[in-house]
Chains A and B, each alone.
Chain A
Amino acid sequence: MTADIALEAHGIGKRYRRGRPWALRDVDLAIPAGSITALVGPNGAGKSTLIKGYVGFERPTEGRLLVAGVDPWKDRGAAVRRIGYVPQAASLYRELTVSDHLAMAARWRDSFDRRAAELRLDQLDIPLDARADELSGGQQAQVGLAIALGTRAPVLLLDEPLASLDPLARREFLHVMVDAVRAAGTTALLSSHVITDIEQACDRLLVLGGGRTLLDVSMEEARAVHRVEDGDGPIDAGRLVGRFPDQGGTLVALVRGESGPGRPATLEEVVLGHLASGRRTRDGEPRMDGEAAA
């Protein structure tokens, strides 16, 4: 592991049962320390599997994961100490108050900064004496985030925390997360379906599709090197990433290139184009060729 890489994946493969399709296959990653990476992909792309692998909840079938240089399946305790984790659903104990949850985090993590977590929740007007089941979904997500940030772990893993939140709660959540992560220099990996939300929050884009890495670049690069052209015309196979219908149902093509015909691609189009390129074939193996996928 190099010092500036926080999360690594080396040839990761995960299959839940023998004979079933691979949830992840041949995934190699190196997420730089201090970055906020958006992990994007459709349902079943392997996003949650990858994040759960880092937390030690899923054991890779093949390959190796490293969290700040520690393999979660060889030394789970050390890996967990380096992680703040926000699960898909808030996972709070409905019988416990917010304050109880902070006490629980402090009980398990010596590094837990309870005052900072309380302050953060206070700023969001979340009462510490409220029971978890009295909080809204957005407030529960904020409590989960406050706990994860309070651990002061160098790596923050967020497994689709925005999925069940309304737009305002999503924005608030991301605002709090980005501010805290930037201030602490934490590395964050945020998986999400909602591309428009993560566009402002993240500085890297990682697209998973069919269990494979389809794109792993900075946000700037993602936008700079992709263009959208008419999808019906002939396109050089070397430039074509994938074809997909736009919002009006017209087939468009995402191509590689900083200039040329067409227009610059939006981040959503970049993601859609790469997902189209990685769509699974019938035998369960993802296609990597844009023409074939289209």
Chain B
Amino acid sequence: MTAIPVRSRAAFDLRLAWRLHRFELIGFGVLLAFLVAAAIGVAGLLDATGYGRLCMGDAGAQPPACESIGRQFYGYQESLVPMIQGLLVAVPFLLGALVGAPLVARELERGTSRLAWSLAPSRVRWFVTRVLPAVVVTLVLALAAGLALDRLTGAIEPGTDAARSFSGFGSRGLVLAARVVFVLSIGVCLGSLLGRMLPALILTAVIGWVGLAGGSYVHSRWLATEAVISPTETGSPGDLFIDQRVKGPDGRILTWDETYAQLPPTDDGSVWPPAGYTLVSLVVPAERLPFVQAREVAALAGASLVFLGTGAAAVRRRRPG
């Protein structure tokens, strides 16, 4: 009857989390492992076609087989990639919602919180021991999915460094993992407040979707204010394209509306905009990706902490079901 060492307590907390959530964890773990393996496999297939290496340089130097190589490359892209990509994005969000919403709600619904809270002198500490393993495991699984999607993105866009490309921003890499944890934290919060699994799960889906869509919209508006002019029509590979602009002969950058106002198009079939005017693009350069990524992850982590804090406060004050 001596105090249990801290390490043993942590081990017990992990074992308890495993025991309580092993069906979800095994199910999602196996599914995600399969999907990650499939993504890496498909990326290998795309690489093996050699399309990026052989057929994306100077058209004159391309071997005659490029047509069939391209058919194979884009055939894989159309048949395998959308399904794997879609599942690899959706499954982690499902994991976040299905682990988060019932985490506390199930205890309240089944009444096990009565036993747990009568034993634990601090409910907040109890909450942390229940939530922390779930957050860590979900983060690891979502990160695995995110990294597999990074690899797949690199294979889909040969010649583009996925770590320096806005392509698929938000649905791969660390940002995907942060978004999944954000959904999990909404679930934990709502489960703690409502004390019912199903309503918490439904509301988590709704609020999670609204939160992520709204957040993405705000972030994209924010990014537009940070965009710079790229001399090409669509920017460099990996840039985040925001809009197109027209560069006048005096070097001024004009919107399409401004250009139309200055030079109304004529019906004589002449090229528009006329000589001296060039199309340029408004982009967030790919080099900014690490900063933009870190900013979104930080915002999501902050929001997740707010939701988890609210959940902890609810647990501290509420009746045990």
Contact = CB atoms under 8 A, between A and B. Distances in A.
For the side of the interface on A, what is the size category?
35 or more
Interface string B308-320: 0000000000011
A78 to B, nearest CB: 8
B114 A104 contact: no
Interface string B8-19: 010011011001
Contact of B9 (A52, A56, A58, A107): A107
Contacts of B110: 91, 93-94
Given A96-B19, A108-B119, A109-B119, A87 B9 contact: no
A80 B123 CA distance: 11
B76 interface: no
Interface string B274-318: 000000000000000000000000000000000000000000000
Contacts of A38: none
B320 A57 contact: yes
Nearest to A87: B114
Contacts of B12: 103-104, 107
Which of B15, B22, B115 has most A Cβ within 10 Å?
B115
B88 to A, nearest CB: 29
Which of A56, A106, A110, A115 has most B Cβ within 10 Å?
A106
B77 to A, nearest CB: 43
A147 interface: yes
B13 to A, nearest CB: 8
A200 B240 CA distance: 80
A92 interface: yes
A65 B146 CA distance: 53
A146 B143 CA distance: 43
A138 interface: no
Contacts of B15: 100
A76 B315 CA distance: 13
A90 B114 CA distance: 9
A223 interface: no
A96 B15 CA distance: 10
B118 interface: yes
Interface string A104-146: 1111111111110000000000000000000000000000100
Interface residues of B, number: 29
B119 A147 contact: yes
B121 A91 contact: no
A85 to B, nearest CB: 4
Contacts of A115: 1
A93 B1 contact: no
Nearest to A150: B1
Given A80-B120, A80-B121, A91-B114, 17 more contacts: A52-B319, A57-B117, A76-B123, A80-B117, A87-B115, A93-B20, A95-B22, A96-B20, A100-B15, A104-B12, A104-B16, A104-B116, A105-B119, A107-B12, A110-B3, A110-B4, A151-B119
Interface of B: 1-4, 9, 12-13, 15-16, 19-20, 22, 110-123, 126, 319-320
The 8 closest A-B pairs by CB, nearest first: A85-B118, A77-B121, A91-B115, A108-B119, A110-B3, A87-B114, A91-B114, A108-B120
17 contacts: A55-B117, A57-B114, A76-B121, A77-B121, A80-B121, A85-B114, A85-B118, A87-B111, A87-B115, A91-B113, A93-B20, A94-B110, A95-B19, A95-B20, A100-B15, A100-B19, A109-B121
